[in-house]
Amino acid sequence: MANMDFDVIVIGAGPGGYHAAIRAGQLGLKTAIVEREKVGGVCLNVGCIPTKAMLHAAEVMMETKHAGEFGLNFAETTLDIAKLNGWKDGIVNRLTGGVSGLLKANKVTVLSGQASFVDEHTVEVDGQRHTASHFIIATGSEPAKLPGVEVDQEVIVDSTGALVMPDPVPARMLCIGGGVIGFEFAQVYNNLGSEVKIIEFMPNVIPGADADAVAEFTKIMKKQGISIETQTKANRAERKADGVHVEIEDVKSGEKRTEVFDRVLVAIGRRPRTDGLNADKAGVAVTDRGFIPADKQQRTNVPHIFSIGDVAGNPMLAHKAMKEGLVAAEVIAGKPSEQDAVAIPGVVYTNPELAWVGLTEAEAVDKGYKIKKGVFPMAASGRAMTLQQTGGFIKMIVEEDTDLVLGVHIVGPRASDLLGEAGLALEMAATASDIALTIHAHPTLGEGVLEAAEAVHKQAIHIVNR
């Protein structure tokens, strides 16, 4: 459109937003991106990346405790909290600086401040108005709040506050919420010395994952010393001299008790962030829960305004946002693009990891598929043995009549890295036989995917097929 400042303005510079802006720049569109906090959004600054750094440090700490089993004896391992926090922050700074450089290299203008719609072609950013032919809303999400448990980011924290490890490490830690965030922080604090308890309101933890995989995963977490209670909720928390007093209730019986903790993490989920956006002034529809729905091309109800990532709806995952950002930019540039992924992977980045893509066994049955499955235990993997990580398995679910892979679920070391092959299999409509016929390097953890595929047909070599 004539007389517009930009072809596209992206609102939010998280993973979805910066992917959209860079792709728009690559496609020759005059592009701006607005960010009210830091480039990289939650994921790079206070989410995915710093959490993984903490998990790595915690994993190394755990490995030193068991290294004596193969002859490596360490003196008592000590923890320098300040250095740990500084190392984590350094990784964040390198990555966010890199993203800023990529935006500049692709001629994307960065506008700092809160973006608010004035009308369907105008936003105001810190008092300055900017017009565009198209907009991509990528405002992300924020931690959900729990009534009765007020976050102070000191002893009662959300996922952002939990990233700052206090000195000394809290002796007693409560994680309210048995999802991905709850388990990842539970393992960090557990490995660094805390006594950790997870409570979850629902009957099961890790919603969306396969029941068999969750059962194996929680068994291993409990063995590591993490206490897990389901159908349990926190009614209120009060900070006192000896710690945080939390009233905990058994959902089924109604029985209540009070326990004391040194740090409490509230990780009950996330909610879309649209405060200050004034989407209504652009005519953009927002649901009662704050989401801005979009179609497969990421268009909202206003055709030239797009919505991507967490604010567009579940699942709230960075890699989903990245794909949607690319789609939105390509559609604006006139390309025939849409979000048509067969499946979106999910991962819990603990040690071992829990990772999955595609249908769970229950979902496949509910959809009417006649299924077969192959399961290969990590205990039969030579590579897993050399890593001293033999807990877990690889489970493959296929349609019996066609042999098409429907879902893959992994509990084990580096499960997230094994998942790429499974995701590609689903996207390309591969069969279990296709995977079984593919030569995998030996010895690798990836061989387990091959063995699971062979187990579907009772032809796995390194287990007894039943």
* Residues tagged in the binding site annotation for NAD(+): 177-184, 200, 269
**CA pair distance 200, 175, nearest whole angstrom:** 9
Q: Nearest 10 degrees: CA dihedral of 400, 370, 315, 413?
A: -50
Nearest to 300 by CA among 139, 464, 130: 139
* Residue numbers annotated as active site: 442
- Are 174 and 262 in contact by the 8 Å Cβ rule? The answer is no
For strands 305-307 and 128-137, give the pairing: parallel
Number of Cα atoms under 13 Å in the Cβ half of residue 45: 16
DSSP labels for 263-292? EEEE-S-EEE--TT--GGGGT----TTS--
3-state secondary structure of 307: strand
3-state secondary structure of 133: strand
Annotated binding site: 52, 139-141, 177-184, 200, 269, 310, 316-319
| Coarse DSSP helix, strand, coil percentages of the chain, rounded to the nearest 5 percent | 35, 25, 40
Give me 373's structure tokens: 């499955």
**CA pair distance 176, 269, nearest whole angstrom:** 10
Q: What values do phi and psi take at 300, rounded to 5?
A: -85, -170
Q: What are the start-end ranges of the E strands in 153-222?
A: 156-157, 172-176, 195-200
Q: Nearest 10 degrees: CA dihedral of 408, 409, 410, 411?
A: -170
Q: Other CB atoms closer than 10 Å to residue 461's CB: what's the count?
A: 11
- Are 140 and 65 in contact by the 8 Å Cβ rule? The answer is no
